[in-house]
Structure formats: structure tokens, C-alpha cells
Amino acid sequence: MMNPIASHGALTDTERFMFESWGYLVIPDVLGEDEVRECLEASVRIHQAAKTEGFGQVGRGYESEAALERLMDHPAVLPKIRGLYGDRFIMQSGWNTKQPAFGGMGGWHQDGSGAYDFKKLSFPYIPLLQLRASFLLTDQTQPRMGNMELVPGSHRSQVAMPDSIRKEKGDLPIGHVICAKAGSVLLFHNAVWHRTFAHDGDYDRYTMHYIYSPPWVKPSDRLQNSQSFLERTTPLRRALMGEFTRPDAPYGANYEAPPFED
């Protein structure tokens, strides 16, 4: 199976073409074994604290777990975000998901807001409003390991997925099951049709998702930023949390870009 494999760091012209064509990229070996273990242990702790049962999704784990916080501006990934958005964007949310052992197929969907359909914002294509970087924290080198399944290029489709497929959680012959080892990152457009694939293992599968958006999009994992987190984190991460001064509201003029190292 073909994979749109990307390198670490800045977005290349070839990677931009692949992303625009398929709607996603796979970045291997972003995290080493020790980093994966630390992030996995942190994931287990936050789900235990939240008492999730079955499939679980917990936000704001980066506030209490340093290993997860470091992923927010990872140098192998953040330059890709800049390449697609430019220098002005926020981290809209950070969600840690758990698919339980022997978990079944998820439902097909596009990311977005249930309160306002992203399709209303642009024609003929849904715009890029949520760019997701998914850090795989358990092995997914074979199908049926809790992988993500996506439909390549579906972010450009002007036809919705048939209701019959969605209702039955049916298969599509063009579905692409992402097979990658722990420590890899899947970067994808909100409008790509996707679902969680079945998980046959006797262990829980964990993924840390960071979602980046234009600066005027409201955060979805928090009503307000934690002041204690802002006080102890880095200036760049504060900026990514949306802590910047607007010279003119609502965004009638520019604001100072986040303090990227370059």
C-alpha cells in the first residue's frame, strides 16, 4: 500500500503536493522508544484519572504531563503546520484517545463542528480549519491494530459519503488503513473522510492528537487557558494556546507572530 511519507521538519514542495492531493501525510520516527514509553505512560495516567471506560477521549493532558506538552511544538512536526498555515495559527485542542482492547470499527466522519457545518464556509471544498497531528503511541504496523483508515483525496470530493456506508460502518474499496509504528505522526485535513479501524489486540491503543486552527477559531478542549500552565510553559507554547494581544478586534489587523526559533 502506498503511503504519503514525509520527512521531519519544513514542508517540501513534494509534501505540499501530496497533502493537497491526498489530504494527509505520514511522518515516521518522530518519537524515539523512550519518548513513546513516556507518552504512553502519561496517556494511561490521564485516562485512569478521567475514569474512561471503553473508547475514551481526554483533553488538556498536556497541562499535567510534560511528555505530552513537548509534542505541542515538536520540531519534526510544527514546521509542517507552518508550511500549510503560515505563521499565525493556534493549537485549538489536544485530545488523547484510547481505543480499548478488541475495539470495533468506528464510524466514518469528517472533523468539524457539530454546531456549524464546515461545508457552509466555502464552496466547492471544505476549507482547512482543523489540521490534526496524531502521534501514534502504540504499534500500528499491521491492519486491525486500532489504525486510522482514511479515504485519499476525499477532502476534495463534492459528493458526500453515502448514508448507507456510514450507517452500516461499511467498507470502501478505496479506504486506506494507515500502517505505521509507534512514534509516527499522521497529519491530516479536517475534511478527509476517516474512521478508527478495528483493534484485535488485548491491550488498549493510545494516540495523542494535536489540532491546529486559524487564530480566530475557538478552542474546543477548554473554555479558558490554565493560568498555572501559561506561567510555567514556554513563550511559543503560550502563543500557540492563543495568548497574544490583538491590535484590532476582530482581527482587523495583524498581531505579532509566535516566537518561532527561526
Domain of residue 111, CATH code: 2.60.120.620
Mean pLDDT is lowest, of 51-55, 118-122, 236-240, for: 118-122
Domain count along the chain: 1
pLDDT value at residue 80: 98
Q: Is residue 23 part of a domain?
A: yes
Model pLDDT for residues 156-191, shown as the tens digit of each residue:
999 999 999 999 999 999 999 999 999 999 999 999
pLDDT value at residue 240: 97
The x, y and z cell numbers of residue 246, run together, are 490583538
Element containing residue 80 per DSSP (H, E): helix 78-85
Q: Is residue 2 part of a domain?
A: no
Amino acid present at 208: M
Find the angle CA(197)-CA(54)-CA(165) to the nearest 5 degrees. Answer: 35
Q: Which domain holds residue 82?
A: 13-240
The helix/strand/coil state of 57 is strand
The answer on pLDDT for 250 being more than 70 is no
The answer on pLDDT for 68 being more than 90 is yes
Give the predicted TM-score (pTM) of the model.
0.96
Instruction: Count the neighbouring beta carbons within 10 Å of the beta carbon of residue 46.
Output: 23
pLDDT value at residue 245: 80
The answer on pLDDT for 52 being more than 80 is yes
Q: Is residue 252 part of a domain?
A: no
Q: Is residue 73 part of a domain?
A: yes
Q: Is residue 139 part of a domain?
A: yes
Mean pLDDT estimate for the chain? 95
* Distance of alpha carbon 127 from alpha carbon 218, whole angstroms: 16
Q: Is residue 75 part of a domain?
A: yes
Q: Is residue 187 part of a domain?
A: yes
Mean pLDDT over residues 74-81, rounded? Answer: 98
Q: Is residue 253 part of a domain?
A: no
The answer on pLDDT for 10 being more than 70 is yes
Who wins on pLDDT, 121 or 248? 121
Rounded alpha-carbon distances, angstroms, from residue 76 to 67, 242, 257:
15, 21, 20
